[in-house]
Structures are given as C-alpha cells and as structure tokens.
Amino acid sequence: MDISKLNGVAKQMVADGKGILAADESTGTIEKRFAKISVENTEDNRRAYREMLFATPKFGEFISGVIMYDETFRQSASTGEKFTDLLVREGALPGIKVDMGTEAMADSPEEKLTKGIDGLPARLAEYAQLGAKFAKWRAVITIKGTDLPTDANLEQNALDLATYARMCQEAGIVPIVEPEVIMDGPHTQARCEAVSEKTLRAVFNAITEQGVALEGMILKTNMVVPGTESGEKASPAQIADATLRVFQKVLPNELPGQAFLSGGQSEVEATANLNEMNKRGPFPWKLSFSYGRALQDSALKTWQGKAENVAAAQQAFLKRAQLNSLATHGKYEGEK
C-alpha cells in the first residue's frame, strides 16, 4: 500500500476550490430523474446525458473528480473517446461506485445494510486497471424515534465501510467513505446531530481497527439538518453550528477532507450551507462537496434530452459548479 500516493490523490479530490460530481446514479435512479423530464431511460440517453456533463468546457476548474456507475465507467463519448479518458483530459479524476445497493437488515427490517463486499477485491483490481483513482461506498442510516438506528446497524455499517476502505487502499484506490444519516422523517435537528455523531464515531473506530490509512481516504457524510417532516426549519448558520460541533469532536486531523452529500437539499440550500461552514474555517480538513442532484438539477431540466439544449445545460451545470467552488472558500454571495 503506497500511502503517499493515496494521500496525493485524496488531496487532489479536495483541492482548493474544487469538489466531486456524483454522477453514479443507478439505472433505476436515473429512470426517476428522466421521468420528470419525459426522457426514455435507454442506455443511449443515459450515455448522452453523462456526455453532456463530462464534456462541459472548463468544468475541471471546479470539479476534481467524477463518481460513475459501472455502466457509465465503461462507456465512451459520441466521439469514441472513453469517458475515463475524457475526464482525465479535463483534469478530473475518474471514480467508481462499488457498492451494490442496500437490503433490509435481517434483525431490524426497517434498517438497511449495503451489499457488495463479496468479490470486491477482484472488482477493485479491474477498476484500477481501467483507470479508477477513487471509489465510493454508501451506508444508509435511518432515524426513527429513539429506537433507530440500532447499535447493531451502526456497527455493521461501520465495519462494512471500513472493510471496503481497506480493500480499496490495498488495490491502490482512494476510498470515499459515505455514511449517510437520511434526512427523511419527523426527527429534530438535535436528534440528527446525536445520530450523526454516534455514526461517525462508529465509522472511525472501525477504520482504526481495520488499519485504514486516514491520510488516504475521503469522508462523505450528511450535514446536520432537521428531518424533512419535522416542521423545523434550520438556517445555514444553525446547520453550520451543529455540523461543525460534530466534526470538531469526531473527525481526525489526519483526514484530508470531507465532501458533503446534498441528501435531498435544493441546489441553493446545499451551496449556502457549505459556504456558511467554510466562512468559519480554516479547519484541519478541507470541507468540500460531492453533490449529485445539487449539481445536476438545473442542467437536467435545461437539457430535456435534446441535442439543441446541450450548450445551455452545460452552462447551467458550470454555473452550479462555480458557485459551489466559491462556497468551498466561504465566498458564495447568493445566486447571480
């Protein structure tokens, strides 16, 4: 394991003013996104959509890497150039989602565990050969009253994340470790804060036990926000305060960076909340972004599956990337 090489890639992923595009929607997930714009979910349409994003001129100035789904990772642009090569040319690192989705936990069916550990070393070796520089594995943490999450669920998800991270590093790939405390539900922001802290403690304990090099990984987790059905509204300042309280208690200083997931926040909310946190910096670790919908929504709505809309859609994507870049410096001043 070449820790210095892993550390170099991890630092690139959270380089100044840059974040990660999460374009790793599964075929089922992209179908839901396409349905909203009445675009048929065919392989060619999926390829055309990703090409629109990846071929955006100068997006590499603001995007350090792109997480892809297996199908996308193996696809090529309409010019015949492999997507992985296109990204490298633009200055973005190719990344791959390696988890295989979630399943109900046997002893607690309302909670989820993530599939994909079996056979993972062989898959990672292939992805490394195909050009992957980093990977992603997502664990889903559900809040329900005071009963969920259970300790057993937190511990198993933490172990799986740490096992995946160790396997990645052994394959020469930087792991993005993504424990997501889901914002769905009626829970308060205070409950989200408590669960987020407990989740991250479990994850970093497991990472230490599994011998994962902290310098060669990136964290991707949620902001501390109220549940979507709580009726509670938190300001960017309140979200920043709560999230940073957790991070300053739990995140090791050796960690190169934390790239937030947007988790259902709107494009503007995700940018404003990231900005508010970076206004409080500097911190021992970079605070960046790894957004999916919060980078793509405007571009997707503009694109509408039509070739004549590609340039306008690319401008919409570039604008969001640039605004989030400003937010990594705490210099976002609202929508313009």
Catalytic residue positions? 178, 220
The closest alpha carbon to 62, from 30, 100, 95, 16, belongs to: 16
Q: Which residues pair with 140 in a beta bridge?
A: 180
Q: Which residue(s) pair with 112 in the sheet?
A: 104
Q: How far is CA 73 from CA 169, 211, 273, in A?
A: 20, 29, 31
* DSSP letters for 267-286: HHHHHHHHHHHHTT---SSE
Is 136 in a helix, a strand, or coil? strand
Partners of residue 141 on adjacent β-strands: 181
Give Rg (Cα) of the chain: 19
The answer to whether the CB of 200 falls within 8 A of the CB of 246 is yes
In 3D, which of 169, 158, 171 has the Cα closest to residue 124? 171
| Total Cβ atoms within 10 A of residue 147 | 10
